[in-house]
Amino acid sequence: MPDDGYRLAALLELRRREEESRQGDVAQAAAATSTARDALRAAKACRDQARERRVEAVAAADSRASSGQASAGDLAQARGWLDRLAVAVARADAVVAEAAAALRSAEEDEDRARQALTRTAAERQAIEKHREKWLAERKREAERKAEEIQDDLHKRK
């Protein structure tokens, strides 16, 4: 920006740099949100697989038990397996809950970054508008002075 004597030039330049920085913050926050969204999607897929394995194991254990072909040891072993699968489902549910919380946090961070960018851009725009008015006023003042000089020259002739 040319040095035109504008008294808020340094502040305007500072706001421009700050806006660029805020744009970077928004990009980083958006990337973090995308990563968190992917992590939640993956956690849900793992949880769904764990649930499906447990449903299939329950169906298989019920089938063996109802057919009368399973011994007491087989049934106890199946019960142990089903308990371990239930624990795996509970862990998967916890991972999904953590991923959902991380996504909410990332979305809030992104929203705050966007709000900060909006504020900074508005501040920069206000200073630029002030500068434009200042330049227009300066131009009018220069034109008025030029007219006065021309009038003085015509009066002297």
More confident residue, 32 or 151: 32
pLDDT digits (tens, 9 = 90+) for 7-30: 999 999 999 999 999 999 999 999
* pTM of the entire predicted model: 0.76
* Separation CA 43–CA 94 (nearest Å): 9
pLDDT tens for 59-95 read 998 888 888 887 888 889 989 999 999 999 999 999 9
Structural domain boundaries enclosing 132 = 9-156
| Structural domain includes residue 100 | yes
Domain containing 62 — which CATH number? 1.10.287.1700
Contact 42, 102 (CB under 8 A): no
Structure tokens belonging to residue 37: 């969204």
- 2 in a structural domain: no
User: Which of the four pLDDT bands, split at 50, 70 and 90, describes residue 1?
Assistant: low
